[in-house]
């Protein structure tokens, strides 16, 4: 089974190369290539996940070199979960993109390169190679954001590039300090050597932690290092907004969890209260300020972006709590947020395609004008708030229970407050969509704008004039998953718990 591990990265890379090369022979063939590669990758990811949960940790060392000198790829219950998530979400978004666009072969080549980078970050057991895959992911994401045909997309991509480069540079500097102190880059070996406090200069370890965590905070979009995210999400084509909101920060948050507990461990956090304070402070500020900023937004995509700042603050809070219950909750919420937020962006894109509505003020009576889009949006909003039995409830329940077990009552209060704020900014949308009558005059104007120019703003390189069955199926599927995964979450948590317990025992 270990020989299958590298294919989790090799398949999307091959798909990227084939999609690009196919453009020479036949334009617009990239979508079919990307779908084929995504189906193959999902099969690989599913097979690895079944083995990881059934038989335990799977290891593969590239080139046959012994660990820690060889590049190690690792699949356990945690990384298998994120790997399946990456494969499944990227395939689902492709169903939407068939009609919505962008449609060029170059777009799909970069799309699959992003999937390869995310997959590599998920399964690498080597800190430097995590940086390499982080850079691949970043470069692909910048290009995808810029694929919109508006100046706004280009400006958003430039801002994302500049801020993202700072984050990657800090991450690399942190790796450098860790290597100077230990002489190794393998994450498990790093953890063992850092645990031998007498053998490692504590100042180097502290500097490495601070730089790596702040670098990943930028990638996750933790406040106040979130500034790239609202512009990138709002300026990108709807397909890209859904993809990067569902996966890019999700995998970065997974990397944060993995590095904090595999490389540094609970012993480091206990011995360095400032390190714990960095995690906790970033979490609380993101939860509160992200929610407050979301409440004040009128553009729907920017509101969803600030909502992500708050939701990832909740995940960082779970990492800071650091017990098994909270970390299971963090993982469940990572999966749930990917489904919910990706689905919300796709639903917003479907609504804009059908009605031209892109601001809160334009959502009046939306259920009459876009019933599928409004219905899916409503279900996903209910899940984001955390109403049982949705996946949003399950993730928050585990994190809140972890806070109770840790005696972190003030943090529990922040989590409850964030739920109320989430209800506030999403509640106004629900009220407009379902309980107000549409304004006939403004609806007519929006429809005209959509048919003429605004639809071209929604997507790049030949967007739709009307929604397709694939677009409807994708948003409806996300809504169904948000509920179905809620029923499965607690059983999944029981299966994941041994992996999390092992992670917490890392030196």
pLDDT per residue as tens digits for the range 26-41: 767 788 888 999 999 9
Helical residues (DSSP H) of 386-468, grouped into ranges: 391-406, 409-435, 440-449, 455-458
455 pLDDT more than 80:
no
Instruction: Say if 206 falls within a structural domain.
Output: yes
Mean pLDDT of all residues in 437-458: 49
Mean pLDDT of all residues in 208-230: 92
**CA dist list (Å): 478 to 97, 380, 490:** 15, 8, 19
pLDDT value for 444 = 47
Mean pLDDT of all residues in 251-272: 90
Position 413 confidence tier, pLDDT thresholds 50, 70, 90: very high
Could you write out the DSSP letters of every residue in 112-132?
HHHHHHHHHHHHB-BHHHHHH
Same domain, yes or no, for 332 and 476?
yes
Does 464 or 316 have the greater pLDDT score? 316
pLDDT value for 441 = 56
**CA dist list (Å): 445 to 206, 357, 449, 466, 486:** 58, 10, 6, 17, 40
374 pLDDT more than 50:
yes
pLDDT value for 213 = 94
pLDDT value for 1 = 67
Same domain, yes or no, for 151 and 219?
yes
From 148-157, 162-171, 307-316, 443-452, the region with the lowest mean pLDDT: 443-452
Instruction: Say if 452 falls within a structural domain.
Output: yes
pLDDT value for 83 = 95
From 58-72, 320-334, 399-413, the region with the lowest mean pLDDT: 58-72
Mean pLDDT of all residues in 233-250: 90
CB atoms < 10 A from the CB of 5, how many?
24
3-state secondary structure labels for all residues of 175-232: HHHHHHHHCCCEHHHHHHHHHCHHHCCHHHHHHHHHHHHHHHHHHHCCCCCCCHHHHH
Instruction: Say if 462 falls within a structural domain.
Output: no
Same domain, yes or no, for 111 and 150?
no
Position 122 confidence tier, pLDDT thresholds 50, 70, 90: very high
Instruction: Say if 464 falls within a structural domain.
Output: no
pLDDT over 90 percentage in the chain = 47
* C-alpha dihedral (151, 154, 156, 162), degrees to nearest 10: -140
Same domain, yes or no, for 289 and 407?
yes
Same domain, yes or no, for 100 and 141?
no
Mean pLDDT of all residues in 12-29: 82
CA–CA dist 323, 401 (Å, integer)? 10
pLDDT value for 210 = 93
Mean pLDDT of all residues in 67-79: 86
Mean pLDDT of all residues in 173-199: 85
Position 499 confidence tier, pLDDT thresholds 50, 70, 90: confident
Question: Do 115 and 66 form a contact (C-beta atoms < 8 A)?
Answer: no
Which range has highest mean pLDDT (119-128, 179-188, 428-437, 448-457)? 119-128
215 pLDDT more than 80:
yes
Mean pLDDT of all residues in 73-88: 93
Instruction: Say if 342 falls within a structural domain.
Output: yes
Same domain, yes or no, for 238 and 155?
yes
364 pLDDT more than 60:
yes
Q: Which residues pair with 73 in a beta bridge?
A: 60, 124
Mean pLDDT of all residues in 179-204: 82
Mean pLDDT of all residues in 446-471: 51
Residue where a domain terminates, one of 118, 142, 171: 118
The secondary structure of residue 68, as a DSSP letter, is T
Instruction: Say if 463 falls within a structural domain.
Output: no
CA–CA dist 284, 410 (Å, integer)? 10
Same domain, yes or no, for 372 and 485?
yes
pLDDT value for 148 = 75
Position 458 confidence tier, pLDDT thresholds 50, 70, 90: very low
Same domain, yes or no, for 254 and 387?
yes
pLDDT value for 251 = 94
**What phi and psi values does residue 270 have, to the nearest 5 degrees?**
-65, -35
At residue 151's C-alpha, the angle toward residues 147 and 153, to 5°, is 40
Same domain, yes or no, for 351 and 276?
yes
pLDDT value for 258 = 93
CA–CA dist 282, 250 (Å, integer)? 16
Same domain, yes or no, for 110 and 228?
no
Position 359 confidence tier, pLDDT thresholds 50, 70, 90: confident
Mean pLDDT of all residues in 429-458: 59
181: Cβ contacts below 8 Å, ≥ 6 apart: 193, 194, 200, 201, 204, 205, 208
Instruction: Say if 106 falls within a structural domain.
Output: yes
Mean pLDDT of all residues in 471-493: 91
Same domain, yes or no, for 102 and 133?
no
Same domain, yes or no, for 69 and 211?
no
Residue where a domain terminates, one of 118, 142, 161: 118
Helix (H, G, I), strand (E, B) or coil at 72: strand
Position 505 confidence tier, pLDDT thresholds 50, 70, 90: confident
Position 461 confidence tier, pLDDT thresholds 50, 70, 90: very low
Would you say the C-alpha torsion 372, 375, 381, 382 has a positive or negative sign?
negative
Mean pLDDT of all residues in 165-172: 94
**CA dist list (Å): 438 to 129, 365, 368:** 52, 4, 8
Mean pLDDT of all residues in 254-261: 94
Residue where a domain terminates, one of 78, 99, 118: 118
Tokens encoding 160? 């994302």
CA–CA dist 48, 50 (Å, integer)? 5
Q: Which residues pair with 75 in a beta bridge?
A: 58
Instruction: Say if 461 falls within a structural domain.
Output: no
* Domain that residue 420 falls in: 126-456+469-504
Does 459 or 329 have the greater pLDDT score? 329
From 76-85, 334-343, 367-376, 381-390, the region with the lowest mean pLDDT: 367-376
Mean pLDDT of the chain: 86
Q: Which residue do the tokens 């508006």 mark?
A: 150
Kindly report, residue by residue over 248-257, the tens digit of the pLDDT: 999 999 999 9
**CA dist list (Å): 378 to 82, 165, 186, 382, 467:** 26, 36, 45, 6, 19
Number of domains in the chain: 2
Mean pLDDT of all residues in 196-219: 86
pLDDT value for 440 = 63
Which range has highest mean pLDDT (26-35, 161-170, 426-435)? 161-170
Helix (H, G, I), strand (E, B) or coil at 86: helix
Question: Do 144 and 236 form a contact (C-beta atoms < 8 A)?
Answer: yes
pLDDT value for 442 = 52
Long-range contacts of 348-351 (CB under 8 A, 24+ apart): 348/238, 348/300, 348/301, 348/304, 348/373, 348/377, 349/96, 349/100, 349/238, 349/239, 349/241, 349/242, 349/458, 349/459, 349/471, 350/376, 350/467, 350/471, 350/472, 350/475, 351/377
Mean pLDDT of all residues in 81-98: 92
């Amino acid at each position: 089974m270990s020989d299958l591990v590298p294919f989790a990265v090799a398949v999307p890379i091959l798909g990227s190369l084939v999609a690009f090369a196919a453009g020479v022979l036949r334009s617009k063939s990239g979508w079919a290539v990307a779908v084929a590669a995504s189906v193959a990758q999902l099969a690989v990811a599913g097979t690895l996940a079944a083995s990881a949960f059934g038989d335990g940790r799977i290891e593969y060392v590239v080139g046959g070199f012994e660990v820690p000198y060889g590049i190690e790829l690792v699949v356990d219950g945690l990384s298998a979960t994120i790997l399946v998530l990456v494969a499944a979400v990227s395939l689902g978004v492709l169903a939407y993109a068939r009609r919505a666009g962008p449609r060029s072969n170059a777009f799909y080549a970069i799309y699959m390169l992003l999937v390869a980078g995310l997959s590599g970050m998920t399964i690498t057991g080597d800190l430097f190679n995590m940086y390499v895959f982080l850079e691949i992911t970043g470069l692909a994401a910048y290009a995808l954001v810029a694929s919109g045909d508006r100046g706004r997309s280009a400006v958003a991509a430039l801002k994302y590039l500049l801020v993202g480069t700072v984050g990657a540079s800090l991450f690399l500097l942190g790796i450098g300090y860790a290597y100077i102190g230990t002489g190794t880059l393998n994450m498990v070996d790093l953890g063992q050597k850092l645990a031998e406090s007498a053998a490692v200069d504590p100042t180097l370890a502290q500097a490495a932690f601070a730089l790596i965590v702040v670098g990943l905070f930028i990638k996750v979009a933790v406040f106040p290092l979130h500034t790239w995210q609202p512009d990138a999400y709002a300026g990108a084509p709807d397909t890209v907004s859904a993809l990067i909101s569902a996966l890019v920060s999700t995998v970065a948050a997974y990397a944060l969890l993995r590095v904090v507990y595999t490389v540094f461990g609970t012993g480091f956090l206990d011995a360095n209260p400032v390190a714990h304070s960095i995690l906790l402070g970033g979490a609380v500020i993101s939860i509160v300020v992200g929610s407050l900023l979301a409440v004040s937004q009128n553009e729907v995509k920017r509101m969803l972006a600030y909502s992500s700042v708050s939701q990832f603050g909740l995940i960082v809070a779970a990492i800071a709590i650091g017990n098994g219950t909270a970390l299971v909750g963090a993982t469940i919420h990572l999966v749930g947020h990917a489904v919910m937020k990706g689905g919300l962006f796709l639903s917003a894109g479907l609504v804009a395609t059908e009605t031209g509505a892109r601001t809160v003020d334009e959502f009046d009576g939306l259920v009459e004008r876009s019933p599928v889009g409004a219905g899916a949006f409503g279900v996903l909003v209910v899940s984001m708030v955390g109403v049982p039995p949705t996946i949003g409830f399950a993730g928050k329940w585990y994190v809140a229970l972890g806070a109770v077990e840790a005696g972190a009552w003030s943090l529990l209060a922040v989590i409850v407050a964030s739920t109320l704020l989430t209800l506030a900014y999403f509640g106004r949308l629900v009220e407009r969509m379902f309980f107000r009558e549409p304004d006939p005059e403004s609806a007519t104007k929006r429809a005209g704008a959509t048919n003429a120019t605004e639809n071209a703003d929604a997507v790049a390189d030949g967007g739709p004039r009307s929604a397709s069955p694939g677009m409807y199926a994708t948003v409806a599927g996300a809504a169904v998953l948000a509920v179905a995964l809620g029923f499965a979450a607690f059983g999944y948590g029981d299966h994941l718990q041994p992996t999390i317990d092992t992670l917490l025992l890392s030196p």
